[in-house]
Chain A
Amino acid sequence: DVQLVESGGGLVEPGTSLRLSCAASGFTFSSFNMNWVRQAPGKGLEWVSTISSSSNYIYYADSVKGRFTISRDDAENSLYLQMNSPRADDTAIYYCARGALFCSGGNCYPKYFQHWGQGTLVIVSS
């Protein structure tokens, strides 16, 4: 069975940093693109970032571009999200999700999120 387990969330002060991790099991991690999706308390879903297998394609939402960095370690079957200079509006449950890509015009983009972790809560507050 596909399992995704996020960790690293907690209370963080604005302007500091935090690294989220996602441990994957039950599938060949290196073959799949991975994503972070977040959900502010009581709100809807927001796509954050995508990294393809082999890290050929990396995408970010404008709201986190330049502050967050997605990465993966295929040897460790792990996905990461480095959150620098977090703001209050980054407060959310962060989900790790395995997805599929949609390829068009020589590029590939995230398509859907097929398997999700249970999420890790990040609270940005002083």
Chain B
Amino acid sequence: DIQMTQSPSSLSASVGDRVTFTCQASQDISNHLNWYQQKPGKAPKLLIYDASNLETGVPSRFRGSGSGTAFTFTISSLQPEDIATYFCQQYDNLPLTFGGGTRVDFK
């Protein structure tokens, strides 16, 4: 199975900050990576697919990049509604696997 490692597991930031965290795959997955946002008590929401494509309706302050084994998720200017846990997910090979998540909260 492909292991997905996210870091850090949590971070604190202020409104307006640029926030960046990473997802590392245990083997080359090309750009076969998606990012989800999950708010407490809610279902996950797809934000980015194919490593860098923004899902329809998702604000442009969210950005994904990377390929191969190293991927980055960036929020250009943190907003109050962005407080959530973010998960990466690979689809290069079955089983589909998710990273452990990065929890973003306010300082």
The answer to whether A117 and B43 have CB atoms under 8 Å apart is yes
Interfacial chain B residues near A95, Cβ < 8 Å: 43-44
The answer to whether B44 and A47 have CB atoms under 8 Å apart is no
Interface segment out of the listed B20-28, B68-76, B97-105: B97-105
Main secondary structure of the interface of A (DSSP, over half): strand
Task: Give bound CA distance, A113 to B37, whole Å.
Answer: 12
Q: Mark A22-50, 1 if CB is under 8 A from B, else 0.
A: 00000000000000010000001111000
B91 within 8 A of A: yes
Which of A45, A61, A110 has a CB less than 8 Å from the CB of B44? A45
Interfacial chain A residues near B49, Cβ < 8 Å: 111-112
**A111-B91, A112-B49, A112-B91 are known contacts. Are A46 and B98 too (CB-CB below 8 A)?**
yes
The answer to whether B43 and A47 have CB atoms under 8 Å apart is no
* Closest Cβ–Cβ distance, residue A27 to chain B (whole Å): 14
* Closest Cβ–Cβ distance, residue B54 to chain A (whole Å): 13
Task: Give bound CA distance, A116 to B38, whole Å.
Answer: 11
A119 within 8 A of B: yes
A118 within 8 A of B: yes
Q: Mark B34-51, 1 if CB is under 8 A from A, else 0.
A: 101010001111100100
| Residue count of chain B within 8 Å CB distance of chain A | 22
Interfacial chain A residues near B91, Cβ < 8 Å: 102, 109-112
Which of A45, A59, A110, A111 has a CB less than 8 Å from the CB of B87? A45
Q: In this complex, which of A46, A112, A119 has the most chain B Cβ atoms within 10 angstroms of its Cβ? A: A112
The answer to whether A116 and B44 have CB atoms under 8 Å apart is yes
The answer to whether A59 and B45 have CB atoms under 8 Å apart is no
Q: Mark A2-23, 1 if CB is under 8 A from B, else 0.
A: 0000000000000000000000
B13 within 8 A of A: no
Interfacial chain B residues near A112, Cβ < 8 Å: 34, 46, 49, 89, 91
